[in-house]
Amino acid sequence: MLQLTPQSKIFIAINTIDGRKGIDGLVATCRQKLSAEPLQGAMFVFTNRAKTTIKILNYDGQGFWLCIKRLSQGKFKWWPRGQEEVGSLSYRELHILINNGNPTSASFSQDWRPLLD
């Protein structure tokens, strides 16, 4: 089962991908362009050029999960920019992105904080 926890490692591909890519194509993209090994359990988030679709690739120890969300109208409002090929997201930021929000403008409490006496 796909698990999304505060400890999840989530990487986001800055550059767009060919939206026709399936699991094998995305695994190759992870290894060649992102210099990452998808068999180590991290999640990888991709978008197509039109920014209408998000694909999430994850390996759970037995096989790959490929989750796809395609908007029925409009485009995803936010996608990171930068010189690097890959960035990272927290699990909360991924939830906001999936719901077509902007994770950089959301305010979050800390994931972990000490208990008060």
Give per-10-residue mean pLDDT for the chain (117 aa). Answer: 81 95 96 94 95 96 94 93 90 90 74 66
State the Rg of the chain over Cα. 15
- Sign of the C-alpha dihedral computed for residues 57, 101, 88 and 32 taken in this order: positive
Domain ranges of the chain: 10-98
Contact 94, 102 (CB under 8 A): no
pTM across the whole model: 0.87
Q: For residue 86, what is the enclosing H or E element?
A: strand 86-89
Distance (Å, rounded) from C-alpha 95 to C-alpha 101?
9
